[in-house]
Amino acid sequence: MKLIRNTQPSLGLDIGTTSVKAVVLKEGVSGVAIVDYRIEEFPLSTEKKENVPLETVLEGLRKCLAGLNLKKMKVTTVVSGQRVSVRKVLVPNMPKEELLEAIKWEAKEHIPFPIENAVIDYHLIGEVLDKGAKKLELLVVAVEKFVIDQHLSLLQNIQVRPASITVTPFALVAVLRENDYLKADKTFAAVSSGADATTINIFSGEHLVFNRGIPLGGNNITRAMVGTLISDSGQVELDINQAEILKKDWGVPDEKNPQQLTPEISSIQIAPLMRPILERLANEIRRSLDYYREESRGKRVTKVVLLGGNAELKGLETFLDNALGIPVEICHPLKHLELELSEERKKELEQLIPRLVIALGASLQGTKGINLLPPELKEQAARTARSAMTAVISFLIIFIFSMVYASLYMQRRTYEKVITSNQAALNDLKQQVARAYELQQLKEKMTARRNLINLLMMGNPRWVEMMKALSNLTPRRIILEEVTFAKEVETNTAPVPVPPPGEAGAAVAEPVKVPFPGLNIKGMVMLGGDRPEAILAQFMQSLEKSTYFMETDLYSLTKALAGTGLDKNYINFEIQCKLRNFSGGE
């Protein structure tokens, strides 16, 4: 019987300046599956606004999340903007419980707002040598406290309780890791460009080592196109909605190959309006790459990966490739995900996924990694998770006990019927002694099985306590996946049979197969520290010292299947053991 993992769906929520995006994930057949996604647009404006009106955002959130059972989901939301700071900091090597205070002291010089008014979390990159001393290299995330308070207040208005609050760079980390971009020997830049902002993130190996945000996005391009255009056919007024449609339909114009975009508008008219914004974007990316090269003593970024809503802008990939002089590619985040959607929605998602990438990353990250929830809300979320896990474990224990009891009862009923039938046949065949001997043998086997089941039923095994003992004896580095009742084993417990006619003395009892109470235990050992064999040996010794188990055997020890994401960190095992008080003398 398999011990299932927590299958609670996760919802990633990205509240932007032009729309609300949501992605719902759950465990699929062979990995993570997208089961729902939502985008709710805000009205376009020709003016850049620092904050979208509250009622507009609330209405967008209500429509976006309508029909979702949020109480059964882990909700992770994203905060972004100029009041979010991500900085690399070095601190002396020290215990974890002292680290946060040291970070606050060191981060004062790096964070552009008072540290006492900030909510802080950090990600450990690793140990480095700094002037001959070992130090910890950290990425510190700081957000002004009032931003978090406003964010939580907004969600409270629609009865949403987030389990985690993250930031855009770490949502991107989750997406890039899922798509195998984070490799030990690679250094690249991930540029996430949205409606009103772009984040430039540089990764070295598996770690984010540089982050910078600039207030420049797709809306800047759209607003630059708004106004009066003059052509041979006269003047054309282009409003914000028409400009957005032209941008999405035609993208970045190829100035070497002019095109007629509409009967009144050509690419020659649009290109000069878009060029300053695009060149500014390319210059900001180039400045960030140059800064990183100087800070890292010559390390070079080998490619740029585009994400976010502007990644779908036609021609942007080619423009940046030419402007930066290094390869530029678009990330396709659906490559390693299952899609539990209709065919129509799958096709739609392929078009929308660049805009959903931050919500997808938040959903993938969940409660792991950066979490800017206030401490009291973190503890509340942890208590809720523990309560849910306790309920799941209790249900599994009761379910296992019920299934074992039902199986034993059905076996007993079946054996009783077989024995009754064989007894009647034996009475009819008393005159045929040779045949009677065979039937007697069968009767004895069935009797042995019935007696064993009677013994089990009379012994009233305490299955709940047994399962609790098994859970308590399991080390932290062992994950149990499957616990099953043992199959038949050989034992020489049959009564002495009646000898066939013509033979003197009693016949020697032959071994017969009867159900012997025992368990098969399957699971995984996490690599690291002690060898897996040592961990399993300790686990088996603990089982044999307990009051419920004996005669443990390691049946198999194999690597996790390649491609499951576990093959580098876990080893599978199978243990067989017997239960005490059912072996005739134990």
Distance CA 186, CA 182 (A): 7
Q: Give the pLDDT band of residue 98 (cuts 50, 70, 90).
A: confident
Q: What is the mean pLDDT of the chain?
A: 81
pLDDT, residue 437, reads 74
pLDDT, residue 261, reads 84
Per-residue pLDDT at 303 exceeds 90: yes
Indicate the residue type of 136: L
Per-residue pLDDT at 292 exceeds 70: yes
CA atoms within 13 A on the CB side of 391: 7
Identify the structural domains of the chain with CATH numbers, from first to last: 180-331 (3.30.420.40), 386-579 (no CATH)
pLDDT, residue 505, reads 45
Q: Give the pLDDT band of residue 77 (cuts 50, 70, 90).
A: very high
User: Which residues are registered as beta bridge partners of 207?
Assistant: 204
20-29, 271-280, 411-420, range with the lowest pLDDT: 411-420
Per-residue pLDDT at 453 exceeds 90: no
Nearest one of 138, 166, 159, 128 to 15, comparing CA atoms: 166
Per-residue pLDDT at 288 exceeds 90: yes
CB contact at 8 A, 58 and 154 = yes
Tell me the pLDDT tens digit for each residue of 395-442.
778 888 788 888 888 888 888 888 888 787 777 777 676 766 777 777
Distance CA 115, CA 123 (A): 17
Per-residue pLDDT at 97 exceeds 90: no
pLDDT, residue 14, reads 92
Mean pLDDT computed over 88-116: 82
Distance CA 142, CA 557 (A): 45
pLDDT, residue 2, reads 33
pLDDT, residue 194, reads 87
- CB-based contacts of 288: which residues, under 8 Å, 6+ apart? 189, 200, 202, 210, 212
pLDDT, residue 512, reads 46
Distance CA 264, CA 283 (A): 32
pLDDT, residue 380, reads 65
Q: Give the pLDDT band of residue 582 (cuts 50, 70, 90).
A: low
Q: Give the pLDDT band of residue 283 (cuts 50, 70, 90).
A: very high
pLDDT, residue 538, reads 93
Burial class (CB in 10 A: 0-12, 13-18, 19+), 26: middle
pLDDT, residue 1, reads 31
Distance CA 250, CA 260 (A): 10
Backbone dihedral angles phi then psi of residue 45, each to the nearest 5 degrees: -135, 145
Report residue 568 as tokens: 């580098």
Per-residue pLDDT at 316 exceeds 70: yes
Per-residue pLDDT at 378 exceeds 80: no
Report residue 347 as tokens: 């096709």
Percent of the chain with pLDDT over 90: 27
Tell me the pLDDT tens digit for each residue of 189-208.
999 988 888 999 999 888 88
Mean pLDDT computed over 68-80: 90
Backbone dihedral angles phi then psi of residue 114, each to the nearest 5 degrees: -55, 130
Q: Give the pLDDT band of residue 23 (cuts 50, 70, 90).
A: very high
pLDDT, residue 491, reads 44
Winning range, highest mean pLDDT, from 47-51, 67-71, 126-130, 253-257: 67-71
Cα Rg of the chain (Å, integer):
34
pLDDT, residue 375, reads 76
Distance CA 337, CA 366 (A): 16
Per-residue pLDDT at 71 exceeds 90: no
Distance CA 107, CA 87 (A): 8
Tell me the pLDDT tens digit for each residue of 489-546.
444 444 444 445 444 444 444 444 445 568 899 999 988 878 888 999 999 999 999 9
In the three-class reduction of DSSP (H, G, I as helix; E, B as strand; rest coil), residue 382 is classed as helix
